Structure 1
Amino acid sequence: MDRKWMFANRLSDEYAAGVKEFVKFAVQNAKNPNSLLCPCLVCWHGIRVNPSELEDHLICKGIDKNYICWSNHGESRFDSGDAADSVRSASFGAEEDACDGDRVEEMAKAVEDDLRDCPQMFERLKNDAGTPLYNGCSKFTRLSAVLKLYSLKAANGWTDTSFTNILTLLKDMLPEGNVLPGRLYEAKQMLCSIGMSYERIHACPNDCILFRNEYESLKSCPKCKAPRYKKENSCPLKVLWYFPIIPRFRRMYRSAEVAKQLTWHKYRGEGDGMLRHPADSPQWSKIDSDYSEFGKEERNLRLALSTDGINPHSLQSSTHSTWPVILVIYNLPPWLCMKRKYMMLSMLISGPQQPGNDIDIYLSPLIEDLKKLWEVGVEVYDGSREETFRLRAMLFGTINDFPAYGNLSGYSVKGKLACPICEDDTISMRLDHCKKNVFLGHRRFLRTTHRYRGWTKAFNGNKEEGRARKPLKGSDLIAKVKNVKCKFGKTFKKQLPKCGWKKKSIFFELPYWESLHVRHFLDVMHIEKNVFESVIGTLLNVPGKTKDSINARLDLVSMGIRKELRPVKKGKLG
């Protein structure tokens, strides 16, 4: 059966006719025609629907383009021919974190579910994994050599042309009869079955909306009227790249070794009271207590989300800001959870402008998948226990610097009330000479008997008798932001927030978000590294790093403290 319709425009007659043919095929081959697995980009083979719902899902949300053999709907063979070749080419996308020659067997197992009923593609993958690169070669097979080279291409930024030239050179240098591909196209054909699916979602250039769901067919933004495409070549002005997380979790659990590591937090042994891993935190225990059904399944995932702006063009374009959104898996042991191999790029928000407060618009596809993983879950095969179970997942928190904290949480982190804990009780003052806001009320966070509370000369000249404000609970925070009106988009004038909160964060759509002790974590670099450098730079009077300047000493004089440090004029030039 021709599958070219899977890659056609969802608004075209070709796609609609293909969906009807697919639904008809699925009904004819199903044991229960009213209970069919849905391969749309939201359900990902994890939910059963009736034929009418299946057709609606495929039309509105699109089909998984990697599902080229309909093994879940009764197909046992994959038709060869031009259509098959076009599907293989169109479904290609290599996972960099999987490009390791030592993991060929593991990757073959990971894609076995999708290809075991497609003899041609799966047999080709196994043959490539077992064929020596040349006669007598014991170190590399045809597949492992290509995977290793492709990982180097990704790591070093080789262009397609340079990669083809390298393949051609290596093929000539190797002994006669070697099976190394001579072109990039041939290498892609080999790797197409282990590719990572993705979605290109068009976005308003002013960050107002994503052209999906009810906005799918529009040619311009309904809010700011900005065009969706460039006039000259019909290319979208802005694109969000979304890499669905559910199929990647399935592949991880397919590997027996990785599946075992994902339960490390349960069997790590008795702790000593020290915080070495998120599993030692009170929040982890609170989740187990509040959501016992989720906590009793040790294979359920707890994730952290991290995002920040990067400039992919280095110094060539210092104003460009692209935002990757990365997920970290906290189930893994501490020596693995921050390894590059297990840090999942879930989306890429293209520039040139940073999303800022409008980042919620771009996070909506990821939040939908996270809601599904919490409320319904998906069926996953566990390679270590050789059984199928229903996987659920939750977002444990976010990791970011302070400006990104403001974007994700919705609090204004600039100005006199920049502290999201103290809010209106923030103690701050403006320095006349340094021209910056400083926050000097930090002693009230100490215990009531701490000796620093009584020191006057070393601080602001007064004793500290204040008490620190307790952080707001999630329910109290929702009550504060429920009436905050926010219009997303760069063209709308932003109103100054009265309570410090600019919006109700999209993370509150997750049912468990308000119950968490800590929802946003500040990264170590901006707290420990920068503070350490400032303190050491001042103590050692390091040029360019010290904070002991003339303006700082003049501000001490204005505040009436540390008079012994006031600047002393010497000579006519002072």
Structure 2
Amino acid sequence: MSEIMASKAGVPESGRRAHIVLLRPAKSADSKNASKRVEMDRSWITTTKIGDPKYDAGVMQFIKFALENNSEGRDKFPCPCYMCHNLMHHKVDVILSHLRKWEFDITYTCWYRHGEKMGGTSGQQGHTDEGDSLEDMMDQLHEEVDDDPHVLEELLTDSEKPLYKDSKYSKLSAIVKLYNVKVGHSVTDECFSAFLKLFKDILPPDNVLHGATYRAKKMLCTTDLNYEKIHAFPNDCILYKDEYESLKNCPQCNVSRYKKKEGVPAKVLWYFPIISRFKRMYSNSEDAKRLTWHKFGREKEDGILRHPADSPQWRFIYAEFSDFGKEERNLRLGLSTDGMNPYSSISSTYSIWPVMLVAYNLPPSLCLKRKYIMLSMLISGPKQPGNDIDVYLTPLIDDLKLLWEKGVEVFDASRNEMINLRPMLFCTIQDYPAYSNLSGHTVKGRCACPICEDGWEGRWLSPSKKTVYYDHRPFLPEDHEYRKLKKAFTGEQNFESRPSVSTGEEVFEKVKNIQITFGKLKKNKGALPKQGYKKCSVFWRLPYWRFLFVRHSLDVMHIEKNVFDSLIGTLLNMPGKTKDGLNARSDLEELDIRKELHIVEETGKRKYLPPAAYTLSKKEKIELCTSLAGVKVPEGYSSNISSLVSVENTKLVGLKSHDCHVLMEDFLPIAIRSILPKNVRYEIIRLCFFFKSIYSKAIKTKDLDSLEIEIAVILCQLEMYFPPAFFDIMIHLPVHLVREIRFCGPVHMRAQWAFERQMKTYKGYAC
């Protein structure tokens, strides 16, 4: 078979191997001797436990080896216990203490981080030198581009051609190294082109370095992971795939799949098959080891949530699907999608939707890093898919369903063996409008809360022309004193119980028979309810989806931003953002509550709004803005806060999500410490501290009940002072955040921060 593959590539097998071996530096006698020296029995790593004499002897053998190979004279070494996972460096006595407390990392059988040469034992994987990296890449490409021998031949030629006479770099290796620097430091294409031109001019005249980013990308594009270009109907009715692949017109609307020019698709879905992404992750020995962190590297059960692996939903997966859970290398994935405009704010109508995946098997410090965020598909614009996103998600769901049922053979480079890999979707992460698109539940109107569903209904206020979610007393304990109050709330006592949350199986029973026709031009005439679930989401095709406690996560990043905008807008009475005004006071009259705040009509038809507890004078507004404008923070901590505050106009402008996050949790409690009545000030500060608490990287499970009661009490106390118009759906959603922490772990692992940063990177490719 290898000879046939080589003949297709146009290179004899022996010649191809010799060609690649030229890239590998010859091993010296010392390295060969080193390989012999380290051949020793390491079975104790996987077969013994702490306290076993063989384990203790093996640990001392490891310490002796690390000290003997300490050519740099270091006093600290990477610690190989399953807690540190070689990521933390300690002195020898600390490492011994760790290895007597926590087990040795069973995936670390090649001690390359402690001086062992790569390739010295049978368990060693990967190579550190440039030649070995290129050989691995070429070997992998030989399999992936077998159908196009000219591509492989061109790459082989570039890997042999020296950058210039007597250069230690080849044309291919130089471009690979330079492009890694470009990507690692987020260098723009324009800047990279300027550097290439300068380097080409500095190098000897006979150099073959490319002088433009475009040509470098064209050279490297053959090494990229494959993708599938699927034509889509312009109005999102269908994908031209499977039985529709040969059609030229949409079977529903009879509109052509092409633009005016034949052969140019009107709309395209770029699908990046996830199987090849998973294979590449496990082909790297370091990444393959990290993907078992959730099993061997995290803290034992101690009642603290640090990672989704500590959560009940993770443990439930182990118990409910034991054949899946017993293989620690099976992946638990998070899916995120949101729209972005890649062509700057000038073309504000264009929207493109990337769909990204992350692996929760990794440590908390790595799983949301850019390196491990996988782009699975790109839904092109110019219009957002909206409710028709199911049409575009179908290829991804088909693959996830197939992989769950059958799995895929993947080579685990860390253990030098083949495994049958089965990934599953742990949850989705999106902002609130996209929540509706993915779940199928409406997020507007009377029943806009997808967790409470019809158990918690909003109330339409005619003066404000909006639905509000007022009176959160049902979320309080049954014997709480606020339930008996009348005047402070709606004028009535409230002893209603907390709305029950439907299980996944109950939700599936509601939606399984909903039939809709996708597409912008098709109308489901009166067949769908105006509230609640309006479609059976494509995610229900996954066999395990109905058993998950939390399927679609509420995005705390956008919730916090909306809460802060409403709060600061009302305090500063910012036009267009304040929740107070004539309409809000008219709402009080309609509800017949807080008569002291009703509109007072003076002579001459002037209307006077009596000051409320949250009303600030002009002097107090200036004091608040001056306090925020004087904030100075370390570089990288946040934006320049002073540039966001207009003291003269007493308002905040241009706030981004992270600005609201920093202001809400750190600076607003300080800025209002002396300008509001004590009762109002305390409740705002408690709200700020609530968000700070749930953002903690480690949360004690015993504190969750008190946090859940705390947010309900805070909202009830805010209802005593702020008008009903203040309490839109975004003010209501925080009551459910603690529930999601309880089931799925810390919120910072399910927030949009990392994905928003990644979309900025994608946007840079287009600008």
Structure 2: gaps (5+ residues): 12-127, 608-767
2:270 equivalent among 225, 236, 241: 241
Query: In structure 1, what is the Cα distance between the partners aligned to 2:133 and 2:564?
Result: 44
The residue number in structure 2 matching 1:280 is 310
Residue 418 of structure 1 aligns with which residue? Answer: 448
Is 1:449 matched up with 2:479?
yes
Question: Displacement of 1:137 after TM fit?
Answer: 8.9
Partner amino acid, structure 2, of 1:517: F
Contact 2:164 2:204 in 1 (8 A): no
- How far apart are the structure 2 equivalents of 1:336 and 1:102? 24
* Contact 1:308–1:404 (Cα < 8 Å) also in 2: yes
TM-score (norm: length of structure 2): 0.58
The alignment partner of 1:231 has SS state of: coil
Q: What's the CA shift for 1:156?
A: 2.7
Residues 80 and 141 of structure 1, relative CA distance in 2, 3 Å threshold: closer
Aligned pair in 2 of structure 1 residues 333, 125: CA closer, same or farther (>3 Å)?
A: farther
C-alpha distance after superposition, 1:85-122 (max 9, x if no partner): xxxxxxxxxxxxxxxx9999667646633437999577
**Residue among 405, 409, 412 paired with 1:375:** 405
Contact 1:112 1:122 (C-alpha < 8 Å) held by counterparts:
no
Equivalent of 2:353 in 306, 323, 336? 323
- TM-aligned CA distance change 1:190 to 1:321, over 3 Å: closer
1:358 aligns with 2:288: no
Q: Which residue in the other structure is 1:170 paired with?
A: 199
Q: Tell me, what secondary structure is at the counterpart of 1:364?
A: helix
Match of 1:521 in 2: 553
Classify 1:106/1:513 alpha carbon distance in 2 versus 1 (closer, same or farther; 3 Å): farther
Tell whether the 8 Å contact from 1:167 to 1:181 is kept in structure 2 after alignment. Answer: yes
Question: Closer, same or farther in 2 for the Cα pair 1:378/1:114, shift >3 Å?
Answer: farther
1:324 aligns to what SS in structure 2?
strand
Q: Which has the higher contact order (CA 8 A, sep 6+)?
A: 2
Q: Which residue matches 2:9?
A: 79
Deviation at 1:344, TM superposition (A): 1.0
2:432 match: 402
Alignment partner of 1:507 out of 499, 521, 539: 539
Preserved CA contact (<8 Å) 2:355 2:375: yes
Cα distance change, pair 406–145 in 1 and its aligned pair in 2 (3 A): same
In 2 relative to 1, CA 231–186 (structure 1 residues): closer, same or farther, beyond 3 Å?
closer
**1:227 corresponds to which letter in structure 2?**
S
Deviation at 1:489, TM superposition (A): 0.9
Select the residue among 423, 432, 437 that pairs with 2:467: 437
Against the structure 1 CA distance between its residues 310 and 263, is the aligned structure 2 distance closer, same or farther, given a 3 Å change threshold?
same
Query: Which residue identity lines up with residue 376 of structure 1 in the other structure?
Result: K
Match in the other structure for 1:201: 230
Mapped partners of 1:133, 1:522: distance in 2: 59
Aligned to 2:580: 548
Matching residue of 1:301: 331
1:228 pairs with 2:257: yes
Give the CA deviation at 1:531: 1.1
Does the 8 Å CA contact 2:339/2:352 hold for their aligned counterparts?
yes
- For 1:488-517, what per-residue CA distance to the aligned partner results, in whole angstroms no more than 9, with x for missing partners? 111111345236221111111111011111
Root-mean-square deviation (CA), in Å? 3.3
Contact kept, 8 Å, 1:356 with 1:407, in 2: the verdict is yes
The DSSP-based 3-state class of the residue aligned with 2:600 is coil
For 1:171 and 1:521, the matched residues in 2 are separated by 50
Instruction: Return the alpha-carbon distance in structure 2 between the equivalents of residues 121 and 410 of structure 1.
Output: 49
Cα 1:553–1:104 change in 2 (3 A) is farther
Aligned length: 480
Whole-Å Cα distance in 2 between the matches of residues 248 and 517 of structure 1?
Answer: 28
CA deviations on 1:123-144 (whole Å, 9 max, x unpaired) are: 557658x979985899x95134
Structure 1 position 355, deviation (Å): 1.0
C-alpha separation between the residues in 2 aligned to 1:557 and 1:220? Answer: 57
What is the DSSP-based 3-state SS (H/G/I as helix, E as strand, rest coil) of the residue aligned with 1:266?
helix
- Shift of residue 450, structure 1, vs aligned partner: 3.2
1:550: Cα distance to partner?
2.6
After superposition, where does 1:465-476 map in structure 2 within 5 Å?
465-476=495-506
Quickly say closer, same or farther: Cα 1:438–1:194, change in 2 above 3 A: same
- Deviation string 1:187-234 (CA, Å, 9 cap, x unpaired) is 246424421211110001111110010011111001111101123343
Shift of 1:386: 1.7
Contact in 2 for aligned 1:336/1:342 (Cα 8 Å): yes
- Distance of 2:405 and 2:590 partners within structure 1: 58
Instruction: Name the SS of the counterpart of 1:437 in structure 2.
Output: strand
Q: 1:182 is matched with which residue?
A: 211
Q: Check whether the contact 2:163–2:207 (CA below 8 A) recurs between aligned residues.
A: no
Alignment counterpart, residue 385 of structure 1, candidates 415, 433, 437 = 415
Tell whether 2:245 aligns with 1:213.
Answer: no
Give the aligned partner of residue 45 of structure 2: none
> Is structure 2 residue 288 aligned with structure 1 residue 259?
yes
Equivalent residue for 1:113, pick from 140, 159, 162 = 140
For the 8 Å contact 2:200–2:209, the answer to whether it is kept is yes
Aligned-residue offset at 1:322 = 1.3
Could you tell me which amino acid in structure 1 is paired with residue 371 of structure 2? K
Unaligned stretches of 5+ in structure 1?
A: 1-28, 30-70, 82-100
Q: Give the Cα separation in 2 of the matches to 1:184 and 1:542.
A: 47
Alignment check: 8 A CA contact 2:451 2:502 kept: yes
**SS of the counterpart of 1:258?**
helix
**Higher helix proportion (structure 1 or 2):** 2
Q: CA deviation at 1:349?
A: 0.8
Is the contact between residue 242 and residue 346 of structure 1 (CA under 8 Å) also seen in structure 2?
A: yes
Q: Describe the superposition over 1:146-170 as per-residue Cα deviations: whole angstroms up to 9, x where unpaired.
A: 4246638985354xxx866653443
Contact 2:282 2:410 in 1 (8 A): yes
Kept in 1: contact 2:456–2:499 (CA 8 A) = no
Contact 2:457–2:469 (CA under 8 A) maintained in structure 1: yes
Task: Output the TM-score relative to the length of structure 1.
Answer: 0.76
For 1:526, give the aligned amino acid.
H
Distance 2:165 2:557 in 1: 45
Q: How much does 1:238 deviate? A: 0.7
- Alignment partners' CA distance in 1, 2:10 and 2:181: 28
Hey, what's the Cα distance between the residues in 1 that align with 2:289 and 2:511?
42
Give the superposition deviation at 1:440.
Answer: 1.8
Aligned counterparts of 1:307 and 1:544: Cα–Cα separation in 2: 29
TM-aligned CA deviation for residue 342 of structure 1: 1.1
CA drift at 1:302: 0.6
Kindly state the Cα deviation for residue 545 of structure 1 after the two structures are TM-superposed. Answer: 4.4
Find the aligned partners of 1:122 and 1:155 in 2 and give their Cα distance. 25
